């Protein structure tokens, strides 16, 4: 099965955002990926609710919202109302993860849990049956354009093993340093969803690059 492709709008041209959104709408991409940063959990700040709502009004594909924020429970309903179809929260940011995952589903979105590079995947064993997807961070969160962390391949294989053992429905999403060189390896390790930012938006032909990622690079 071909992977789902989720272009990360953090790497889009903010002065021509509507143009880039329309390009993704026309392309073979499957989702729009939005990184939400609060300047606390990660050292950067990104999209606010007014912009998310405007983006949602222009997109024709699901909005995959990655919350890199502390206390995400406070905002789940508002993110869904703003257009989020899928919401991932960080294991490291949630004191009561099961409750947070339940709140995302109750609000009407699909629920995912993201893991920072240093976080062991076995910590998901008790929650993975309840997840729609797992987001493996293959760079440290907070900035685009970072180098892919090679150990991520092993983490993907480990998550795939847990999913099989628990018969979880969860898909595996990978975010950070995804490019045409490592896409094939990521897919062969068990990745279902590729998030790509710079690789797509710095390309001279972004739609063609999305097609290449879709076919494994």
- Whether residue 173 contacts residue 136, with contact meaning beta carbons closer than 8 Å, is answered with yes
Query: Of residues 30, 64, 132, 175, which has the active-site annotation?
Result: 175
What pLDDT score does 205 carry? 97
What was the pLDDT predicted at 143? 65
Superfamily of domain 4-214 in CATH is: Aldolase class I (3.20.20.70)
Compute how many other C-beta atoms are within 10 angstroms of the C-beta atom of residue 28.
15
Can you give the pLDDT at residue 111? 98
Residue 184 and residue 21: Cα distance in Å, rounded? 26
pLDDT score of 204: 96
Question: Residue 136's beta-bridge partner residues?
Answer: 115, 174
- Gap between the Cα atoms of 205 and 123, Å rounded: 40
C-alpha–C-alpha distance, residues 9 and 198, integer Å: 9
Annotated catalytic, 130?
Answer: no
Is residue 64 part of the annotated active site? The answer reads no
CA–CA dist 89, 135 (Å, integer)? 9
pLDDT of residue 199: 95
Q: Which residues of the chain have pLDDT under 70?
A: 143-145
- Cα distance between residue 124 and residue 156, in whole Å: 13
Q: What is the pLDDT of residue 144?
A: 63
Please write the tens of the pLDDT for every residue from 35-87: 999 989 888 888 889 999 999 999 999 999 999 999 999 999 999 999 999 99
Residue of 20, 35, 132, 192 marked active site:
35
Closest CA to 206 of 2, 18, 3, 26: 26
């Amino acid at each position: 099965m071909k992977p789902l492709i989720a272009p990360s709008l953090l790497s889009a041209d903010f002065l021509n955002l509507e143009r880039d959104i329309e390009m993704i709408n026309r392309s073979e991409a499957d989702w729009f990926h939005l990184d939400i940063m609060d300047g606390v959990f990660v050292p950067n700040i990104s999209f606010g609710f007014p912009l998310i709502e405007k983006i949602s009004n222009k997109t024709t594909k699901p909005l995959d919202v990655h919350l890199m924020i502390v206390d995400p429970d406070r905002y789940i309903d508002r993110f869904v109302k703003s257009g989020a179809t899928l919401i991932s929260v960080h294991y490291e940011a949630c004191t009561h993860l099961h409750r947070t995952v339940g709140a995302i589903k109750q609000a009407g979105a699909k629920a995912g849990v993201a893991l920072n590079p240093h976080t062991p995947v076995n910590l998901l064993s008790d929650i993975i049956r309840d997840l729609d997807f797992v987001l493996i961070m293959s760079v440290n969160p907070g900035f685009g354009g970072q180098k892919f962390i090679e150990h991520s391949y092993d983490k993907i294989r480990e998550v795939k093993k847990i999913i099989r053992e628990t018969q979880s429905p969860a898909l595996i999403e990978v975010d950070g340093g995804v490019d045409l060189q490592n896409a094939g390896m990521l897919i062969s390790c068990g990745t279902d969803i590729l998030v790509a930012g710079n690789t797509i938006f710095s390309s001279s032909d972004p739609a063609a690059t999305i097609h290449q990622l879709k076919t494994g690079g």
